[in-house]
Structures are given as structure tokens and as C-alpha cells.
């Protein structure tokens, strides 16, 4: 087995006295696409925030590219190769598409590489090139999702964390978005996607974890999870 790109070891996290994550163990290997499933308030977003350093680890350790990062600030983790597509997209509404993309490359200092990556983003999302000087806030939900993904790609990341990319989008658009996620993953970028829509997430992911009240209750290959009895009952909408 190669060394994991990201590893969570016995991680617990707290909001005041409330325990949001308990003893979570996860590994992501380079080039994988892994999804994190679970209902409301199961700790999915907290897991992402813990990986990013927006929520402090209570107990346990987080490793990224072989280095212990849980004491490090968010900006350091971004610099080492993480990127986020946050929940609800959260693009900068009063910045243009171009400025939003530039913010994605905030920590980079290689104008040539930045230009190349912007071209790559345009090849994935031609719509963004058409709207280059439009304010982010005036775009449709689908376009904003594309912008948020483009913005994440602009840091030339090793690992992209995605929080509910399907939220609030029409089914057809969700399909398109996931197709593009797959394309990005095929390029060698590791993808960690948090989803409520278990069907579509498992249909393209390699592996999955299922969270319930802050604990990992199931994990395994995407295909096994899709066929798992308990899983089907709880998350795939079968009675």
C-alpha cells in the first residue's frame, strides 16, 4: 500500500461541550475519489472543517502528505495542496469571475502557471470564460457551482474537498457537475466529496465512509456500499 495522502487518526472534535466527532479514522490514497455520506448533523461538515483547520481537533491526529498538520493554520494546509469547494458554493458575490478565480490562486506566485490553470478551468467550464467580468453574485446557482470548483482548481491542489456539490441544483446539472468531478479526479487529483445524495456519489466514487452522530458506522468500496442492506435502507431511499 502506498502512503496515504490524508489520514485521520482517532479524531474527535467538540463544539463547546458537544462532541461532534468521535474517534473518526479515515485514509485517502493519492488519486482516489472518496465520498463521505450521512444524514443531517451526522458530522460530515465538521469532518471537512477539521481537515481544513477551521475546527480544532479535540483528540487525535491529522496527517497530510505524511506530515502532521492538525496544529497548523488553515493557510498552511492550503499552501501544502488542499482546496475546498464549500457548502452552498459561497463564491465572493461582489467580485468578478476573474477575481474569484484569482482568489483561488491567492497563495501562488507563478503567473505563468496561474494562467495555464485558468485556461484549464475554462476548458472544463467554458461558461466561466464568457462571464469573466460578471459579478459572482449575479450568476445562476449552477454557474456559481462551476465557479466554486474552478476557484478550488486554481490553487493546483493535490486534494479537493467538496461539501455537498449537488445541493440546490437541478438533477441534470448535478449529473454534469459529477461528470466534471470525475474528469478532475481522472487527472490525478484526489477528491473527497461530502454528499447527501448517496446514489450519485457512490456511482462514481472509489470508496465511501458513512457517518452517524459523529461516528463512522460503515465504510468500504463504493459498489459494496451500494449493495449494502443497511445502507440501502438508511440512505438510498429504499424501504
Partner 1 sequence: MAASKITSRSTIISLLIGAVFVVLLGARINSLENYTFARVVQDFLNALTLGSLYALIALGYTMVYGIIRLINFAHGEIFMLGSYFAFYAMTLTPLPWAISLLVTIILGGTVLLVLRSLFNLEEPKRTFALSLIIFGGTFFLLTFRKLGWVEGLTLSMLATGVAGVLLEAIAYKPLRGAPRESMLITAIAASFFLQNFGQLVFGARVRGFNAQTILNKPLNFHIGPETVYFTGILVVVPLITALLLWVLNLFVSRTRLGKAMRATAQDAEVAQMMGVNVNQVIALTFFIGSILAAAAGVMYAIRFGQIHPLMGLMPGIKAFTAAVIGGIGSLPGAVLGGLLLGFIEIYVVSLFPTLSAYKDVFAFVLLILILLFRPSGLVGEDLTEKV
Residues near partner 1, by CB under 8 A: 52, 54, 73-75, 78-79, 84, 86, 90, 92-95, 99, 102-104, 106-107, 151, 155
Q: Are strands 6-15 and 18-28 parallel, antiparallel or unpaired?
A: antiparallel
Taking the complex as a whole, how short is the minimal distance between the CB of residue 195 and partner 1, in angstroms?
19
Closest to partner 1 by CB, 155 vs 166, is 155
Q: Minimum CB separation from partner 1 for residue 91, in Å? A: 8
The number of angstroms, rounded, from the C-alpha of 157 to the middle of its chain's C-alpha atoms is 11
H/E stretch holding 196 = none
Contacts of 22 (CB under 8 A, 6+ apart): 12, 214, 215
96 vs 203, beta carbon nearer partner 1: 96
* Cβ distance to partner 1 smaller for residue 28 or 55: 55
Q: How far is the CB of 114 from partner 1 (least distance, A)?
A: 12
Rounded to the nearest whole angstrom, what is the least distance from the CB of residue 74 to partner 1 in the complex? 5
Cα 235 from Cα 38, distance rounded (Å): 8
Residue whose CB is less far from partner 1, 38 or 104: 104
Name the helix (H) or strand (E) containing 195.
strand 190-195
Which of 131, 126, 128 has the alpha carbon at shortest distance from 151? Answer: 128
Amino acid at each position: 500500500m502506498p502512503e496515504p495522502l490524508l489520514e485521520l487518526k482517532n479524531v474527535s472534535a467538540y463544539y463547546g461541550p458537544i462532541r461532534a466527532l468521535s474517534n473518526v479514522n479515515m485514509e485517502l490514497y493519492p488519486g482516489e475519489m472518496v465520498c463521505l455520506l450521512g444524514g443531517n448533523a451526522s458530522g460530515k461538515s465538521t469532518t471537512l472543517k477539521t481537515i481544513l483547520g477551521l475546527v480544532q481537533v479535540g483528540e487525535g491526529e491529522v496527517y497530510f502528505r505524511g506530515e502532521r498538520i492538525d496544529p497548523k493554520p488553515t493557510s498552511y494546509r492550503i499552501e501544502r495542496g488542499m482546496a475546498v469547494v464549500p457548502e452552498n458554493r459561497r463564491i465572493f458575490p461582489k467580485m468578478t469571475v476573474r477575481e474569484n478565480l484569482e482568489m483561488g490562486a491567492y497563495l501562488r506566485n507563478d503567473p505563468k502557471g496561474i494562467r495555464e490553470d485558468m485556461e484549464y478551468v475554462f476548458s472544463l467550464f467554458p461558461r466561466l470564460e464568457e462571464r469573466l467580468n460578471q459579478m459572482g453574485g449575479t450568476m445562476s446557482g449552477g454557474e456559481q457551482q462551476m465557479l466554486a470548483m474552478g476557484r478550488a482548481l486554481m490553487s493546483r491542489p493535490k486534494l479537493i474537498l467538496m461539501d455537498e456539490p449537488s445541493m440546490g441544483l437541478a438533477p441534470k446539472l448535478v449529473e454534469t457537475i459529477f461528470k466534471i468531478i470525475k474528469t478532475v479526479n481522472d487527472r490525478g487529483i484526489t477528491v473527497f466529496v461530502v454528499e447527501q445524495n448517496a446514489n450519485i456519489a457512490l456511482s462514481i466514487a472509489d470508496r465511501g465512509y458513512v457517518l452517524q452522530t459523529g461516528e463512522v458506522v460503515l465504510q468500504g468500496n463504493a459498489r459494496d456500499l451500494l449493495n449494502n442492506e443497511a445502507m440501502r435502507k438508511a440512505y438510498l431511499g429504499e424501504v
